[in-house]
Amino acid sequence: MTIKQTNTDDLLAVIIKGIDDVKGEDIQLLDLREIENTVCDYFVVCSANSNTQVNAISGSVQKIVSKELKDKPWHVEGQGNSEWVLMDYVNVVVHIFQKQVREFYDIESLWGDAKITEINPA
């Protein structure tokens, strides 16, 4: 059995494109590589205005990653209530929040040692 290894930079670019395609907002990339004992290398965090948009972003990311990189998430959580969907691509974990839920959990502060890059797609 062969496991396909996706280039992390390519995966990040395609994930961000998937988020941008359905108007995900406030996209941030948290680089966790310099922090000990992290579960992955990067978090991609974005906001949505409704549970419908959370689902749309999640679907867009899955579709474009599958189409362009022939990859799929190892695990997806939160699609039941669509307030916070987590998509685990092993080296990259995508967090899609409704705005008020993102403010409540403030994940960027929890990972304050991470290098945070604000993403402004063209």
Q: What percent of the chain has pLDDT over 70?
A: 94
Q: Which tokens belong to 85?
A: 């969907």
CA quadruple 51, 46, 121, 15: dihedral sign? negative
- Max Cα separation, the chain? 43
Distance CA 78, CA 85 (A): 4
Structural domains of the chain in order of their starting residue, each with its CATH number: 8-112 (3.30.460.10)
Nearest by Cα to 74 from 92, 100, 51: 92
Q: What are the tens digits of pLDDT across the range 5-40? A: 568 999 999 999 999 999 999 999 999 999 998 989
Report pLDDT for 117. Answer: 94
For residue 100, give Cα distances in angstroms to 8, 13, 15, 118.
29, 26, 22, 19
Report pLDDT for 120. Answer: 87
The chain-wide mean pLDDT, for the chain, equals: 92
